[in-house]
Each structure stands twice: as C-alpha cells, then as structure tokens.
Structure 1
C-alpha cells in the first residue's frame, strides 16, 4: 500500500483550452434532470410541506390574533404569505447541512474530482443548485398555490417584487449551498462531519426564518441572525417576494445576499485549496 499525496493541485483546465464555464451550465442541467427522476419523493416532500404549513398556520395565526391583529407589521394575510412561501422554499434551500461532497472526501473519491478540468467547488454547487431549482416545480409552486387557495394570503401586485424576488430566491438557494459546502469541506480535517451537519441544521433553520420570521426576534437575537448568511438563504427572498421589503431596501437585501455569496465562495475556495494540499488517499 502507498499513499498518493495531492500536495500539488492539478490545473483547473487542460492546457490550451478555454475555462470550462459551459461545463457548469451542463452540470446545473444534469442536477436538474437528476432530481426530476425522483417524482414520488417530490410528492412526499409536498405532502410534508403542506402538513407542517398548516401547523405553522395554526400557531402563527394564533400569535397574530393574540397580539391584537398585527405583530411586528405582520397581519394574518402577510403572515400566511410568509408561511407558504417559506414552506415552498423548504425543498430547495439546504438547511439540513448534508452534501454528497462530504462523503466523497471521506471515502477518497474527491481525488478523482480534483483530476477533472473543472473547479471542484463550482461544479459541486452548480449540480446542487440545479437539483434545488427543479424542486421548486413539484414542491415549491404547489405549496404556495395550495396555501393561497385554502388559507389565503396577501401578496404584492407589482411585478417588480416578483422579478426581484426570483433573483433573490436563486441567490438565496446558491448561498445555502455555498455555505453547506463549507461544512462539507471541513471533512478534509475532521473526516466525519455529521456533528457539524447537525449543529448547522439546528442553527440555520432558526436564523434563516424557517420557524418564525426573524423580525419577531428580540433585538439582540435579530442582530446575531443578521451577522450570519442564514437570512440571505430564506428570509430575505421571502421579504422581497411577499412585498414586506420594497424599493431601495429590497435592492439592499439583494446586495447583502451577493456579499454573503462572494464571501462563502471565497472561504470555500481557500479551504478547498488548503484541504487539497493536505489530502492523502490510500491506494495500491
């Protein structure tokens, strides 16, 4: 047995070729198609979305009514919009912390990934975002539509809110995977990352606004949440799509999302480079 070290990383592209940006688009499409194969799982996810959506309706509507009809600017209609849009995003935003890339690091398959003429980080995120975007079709849109029909909700009338909201939604999905990638890449040093995944799942859902809008947090907890990328994954897209945040403030939220995306991608790149130098794969 011998250990093959990857101290010197291979080039990101073959000599004499253009950067493989088109490959990331194909990986996105491949992820989209892969997720399309799991139709029964998507239906099961939709059922789960609706079940927990109605539970949130019961609890949060009671909170609004107990507060006299509004709480932190949320009335029944806007709270319903928050509930069903957040449930619709649940299948696309990674708040569970799991990524196949962590298993590839653990079993050594990542060595093969490093030999491919694409950036490992960008290839992983492009594939996962493709899967997530498909999930919006069988899980996201029906969740919102059913909630609107059975419960009702207050939504904006301006098309700008929906256009900017969709942009924010895609950025939020990407931020979720670029952040989860940081959890996965810790496997270069820890090997087993399940503990970090569980911690991430607990904290990210809370700070992202999955359970209650972060506007309901006390000031100190709201400041703590906003110091993390979590609101950029879910809460900010919801605020824009539901019309709670409009105008310059909405563009400001998108700017914050882009800043977190750039930051998590940069940290992921640095950790991948350091981890690649450290990686040793046992082989014959």
Structure 2
C-alpha cells in the first residue's frame, strides 16, 4: 500500500511538467529522424549489419528514442542532492526502506514517461518508416515486462552512483562517467550486436544491455522462445544482483551520516 502510493504520487508529480514533457517528445522525435536516416545510410552499405534487416534497424532507433526518458540515462540527481545537503537523514527516519522508496518513485516516473514521451515518438516513427513491430498482444506484453526490468536495472545502477555521494564531496563526475557508459553499452549509440568481435560479446553481458538492447530485441522479434526467456532472466538476474549490492552499500553508508559543511 505504501509503495503503491509512492508510485502513484510520483506519477502525478511528473505529470504536472506538461511543457517539459512536450519539449521532450519533440526532441526525441527530431533525434529519431536524424538517427533513422543515419542508420538508413549505414544499412544501405551493410544490409544485414548485426543480423538486423533495415526495418529492424529502424525499429531499434525508435525504440531507443521512445525509451530514452523512461530508462533515464542520467543520475538520481534529487537523491544525490539530498545526501549532499544532509536531508537524507529525514528520509532515513521515515517508516519506509530508503531503496524501495526511491525505486517506487522511479517506477512512477517511468510510467509517466512511457505514456508521455514513449508513445508519440514510436507512433511517428511507425508512420514515417517501415518498422518491424509485433502484431501479437503477447509480444507487446513481453516487451513491457522487459522494459520494466530494464527500468529496475537502470535504477539500481544509478542508485549505486547516488550512494557514492556519502563518501564523495561531489559525485557529479562519477554520474557523468556512469551516464556515458550507460549510453554506449546500452545500445543507444549503436546496437550492441554491431560492435566488433569480443567487444560485442562482452557488451551483451554487461548490465547496461538490459536497458535497451534486450527490450528492443524483444519488440522487433529478434528474441523469441528460449532466447526471449534467457533475455528476461538476464535482466532479472542483473536487477536482483544490483539491488542486493545497493542494499549492502546503503547499509555501509547509513551507519554514520555526516552532513557536508556541518
């Protein structure tokens, strides 16, 4: 009940930023066209690059733009600020677990972003280009489950970065490095299957692959049957491992809370 209320409250909170949401839709749609035409040029030279045909490559582009705000490649800025200012001490006094509270907040935010900034770019992309979208409702259901797991993995990674603020005077540098790693190894720049040789194999084993590469493959039908179940298990395993690691770091960090500057 408590965390469900936090999810709903977070959804309503982010729903108030209508102008920012509209601006984000325009931005994601514009970047979608730029990247789509770049991919068309690339796939015209290599028609089956990474094992994708042209329609699948374009689907990957628009999936990336639809999920960009949902996945949140940045950090947990609000939590980092609260740790730096010492306001996190108030959070620790709440009758709620710190990690679950922020996870619920992120799920509410992600739900709003899926509707607010996810549907329109994908719809525009489907109207402008021949995309490889599923016709089965079951496949859409698997896609939404994969996206949800990706959001949890994204949160768990960013939560660890935010917790570093307990020890660092300024964790913005670490957050920037984390953002760049996330964008590169999630497949936002290029699908991980396009990477050369061992780098492609390694990248698809890292947790960032759970953010975009796996959900996009599920959406376009590149993962079915056993491959689909392995992809979902991969995401669930990283989510569980990173959340467990976050709980250990949280336990170590909150044994002694020191307010910077006082």
Deviation at 1:282, TM superposition (A): 7.3
Distance 1:57 1:90 in 2: 15
The 1:160/1:282 distance shift into structure 2, 3 A limit, reads closer
8 A contact 1:42–1:139 mirrored in 2: yes
> Are residues 1:116 and 2:94 paired?
yes
Alpha-carbon RMSD across the aligned residues, in angstroms, is: 1.5
Structure having the higher Rg: 1
Greater relative CO (CA pairs within 8 A, separation 6+): 1
> Are residues 1:95 and 2:107 paired?
no
> Are residues 1:82 and 2:21 paired?
no
**Aligned pair partner of 2:203 in 221, 225, 228:** 225
Deviation at 1:171, TM superposition (A): 1.0
**Aligned pair count?**
262
1:186 is paired with a residue whose SS is: helix
Q: Which residue of 2 aligns with 1:46?
A: 25
Greater Cα shift, 90-99 or 237-246: 90-99
2:70 is paired with a residue whose SS is: coil
8 A contact 2:165–2:171 mirrored in 1: yes
8 A contact 1:105–1:191 mirrored in 2: no
Deviation digits for residues 82-141 of structure 1, max 9, x if unmatched? 111111000110212243111110000011111011000110111022111111112101
**Aligned pair partner of 2:7 in 6, 28, 38:** 28
**Aligned pair partner of 1:62 in 41, 46, 50:** 41
Where does structure 1 lack aligned partners over 5 or more consecutive residues? Answer: 1-21
Deviation digits for residues 158-194 of structure 1, max 9, x if unmatched? 3322111110111111210111000000111113110
Distance 2:77 2:243 in 1: 16
8 A contact 2:85–2:260 mirrored in 1: no
Distance 1:99 1:223 in 2: 32
1:91 is paired with a residue whose SS is: helix
Q: Which residue of 2 aligns with 1:148?
A: 126
8 A contact 1:232–1:257 mirrored in 2: yes
2:170 is paired with a residue whose SS is: coil
Deviation at 1:261, TM superposition (A): 0.6
TM-score, length-normalised on structure 2?
A: 0.96
Where does structure 2 lack aligned partners over 5 or more consecutive residues? Answer: none
Q: Which residue of 1 aligns with 2:111?
A: 133
2:182 is paired with a residue whose SS is: helix
8 A contact 1:97–1:201 mirrored in 2: yes
2:259 is paired with a residue whose SS is: strand
**Aligned pair partner of 2:253 in 261, 269, 275:** 275
TM-score, length-normalised on structure 1?
A: 0.89
